[in-house]
């Protein structure tokens, strides 16, 4: 039964600990891999907030050590009722969001990605709780430069706009924030734990499925001034994303909004060849670029890591081929996940 005195059900033991960590979107791709990274550092007093309407996401949590789970709707309702929680987390990793970039329901997207984030931020500020949250490279739109200091960005979809709107809200208050607040603009993240995302899973995931099912990989023909398969994205392996998140956990003196990519834009042809090389077979097929995507598609991204490096983060990022090999080794060992012929 839901206990109003202890709605998270954690009891006095967790309330008396200083290192309680709250992870929203904890059953998702990045959230669950972050929890595994936290577990590896000895953290298990972790409260997960998520929506398990898609029950298969439980698989991402099954091998994680957590203290408790709270449904997202219950969490938001409690936050809005009391402007406080019955536990006092030291830090919130806010990974929860609608990440379906093809969704055009702006009312839902802004409620979910902007209003929810804003209320959670205000809670953290009121109670001196650190917050590290997921932003996105989608904020850059058709930009050919990817520095966090850029102004007048125009995203290509309402998802990117919802992320930019929250980044701008954070920026207005950043100089006065007493606790740490960090926004991480994720570029194209790939790796274990993303199979439940279906069409929104990474291109690596989909090309692997295509090759297994059809003996070929399918990528877009030329567009936006690029030749067939020469559109370029910054693909970043999930382990690198987790490593940066954990670095900020250990460096609470740093706040701001930072890019989180590999720092290298690679072509879809490069990615396709890496998948084919791992399988030691396969061909590339080019399919017509969808007309409906022309105005809403990022044909080039490449993270400028200058701001992150300036803080002192000096760990190298995995090269695309190394990351693809590591991911496909994992997929092969576990039998992969849901098949799909979609591409991103």
Backbone CA torsion sign across 116, 121, 122, 127: positive
> Which of 200, 164, 188, 204 has its CA nearest to residue 28?
200
Q: How far is CA 78 from CA 5, 17, 185, 218, 325, in A?
A: 11, 21, 28, 46, 44
Q: Is 163 a catalytic residue?
A: no
Exposure on the CB side of residue 117, measured as CA atoms within 13 A: 29
Bridge-based pairing state of the strands 91-94 and 21-24: parallel
Q: Is 197 a catalytic residue?
A: yes
Question: Looking at 140, 161, 197, 327, which residue is catalytic?
Answer: 197
Structure tokens given for 71: 């449904």
> Which of 301, 210, 239 has its CA nearest to residue 264?
301
Tell how far CA 177 is from the center of its chain. 24
Question: Looking at 116, 123, 140, 159, which residue is catalytic?
Answer: 159
**For residue 161, what are the contacts with CB-CB under 8 A and spacing of at least 6?**
106, 109, 155
Q: Which are the catalytic amino acids?
A: 159, 197
């Amino acid at each position: 039964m839901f206990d109003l005195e202890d709605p998270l059900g954690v009891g006095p033991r967790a309330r008396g600990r200083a290192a309680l960590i709250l992870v929203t979107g904890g059953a998702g791709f990045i959230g669950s891999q972050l929890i595994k990274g936290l577990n590896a550092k000895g953290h298990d007093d972790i409260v997960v907030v998520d929506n398990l309407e898609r029950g298969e996401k439980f698989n991402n949590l099954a091998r994680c050590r957590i203290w408790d789970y709270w449904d997202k709707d219950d969490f938001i309702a409690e936050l809005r009722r009391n402007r406080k929680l019955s536990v006092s987390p030291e830090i919130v990793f806010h990974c929860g969001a609608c990440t379906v970039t093809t969704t055009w329901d702006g009312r839902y997207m802004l409620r979910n990605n902007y209003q929810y984030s804003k209320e959670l931020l205000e809670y953290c500020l009121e109670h001196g709780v650190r917050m590290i949250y997921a932003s996105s490279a989608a904020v850059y739109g058709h930009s050919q430069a990817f520095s966090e200091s850029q102004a007048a960005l125009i995203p290509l979809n309402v998802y990117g706009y919802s992320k930019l709107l929250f980044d701008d809200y954070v920026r207005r208050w950043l100089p006065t924030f007493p606790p740490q607040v960090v926004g991480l603009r994720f570029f194209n993240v790939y790796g274990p734990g993303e199979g439940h995302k279906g069409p929104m899973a990474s291109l690596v995931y989909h090309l692997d499925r295509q090759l297994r099912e059809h003996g070929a990989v399918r990528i877009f023909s030329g567009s936006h001034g690029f030749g067939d398969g020469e559109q370029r994205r910054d693909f970043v392996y999930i382990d690198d994303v987790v490593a940066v998140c954990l670095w900020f956990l250990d460096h609470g003196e740093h706040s701001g909004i930072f890019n989180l990519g590999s720092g290298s834009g690679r072509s879809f042809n490069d990615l396709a060849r890496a998948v084919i090389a791992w399988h030691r077979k396969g061909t590339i097929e080019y399919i017509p670029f969808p007309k409906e995507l022309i105005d809403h598609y990022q044909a080039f991204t490449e993270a400028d890591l200058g701001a992150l490096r300036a803080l002192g983060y000096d760990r190298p990022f995995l090269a695309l081929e190394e990351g693809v090999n590591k991911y496909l080794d994992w997929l092969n060992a576990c039998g992969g996940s849901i098949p799909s012929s979609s591409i991103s």
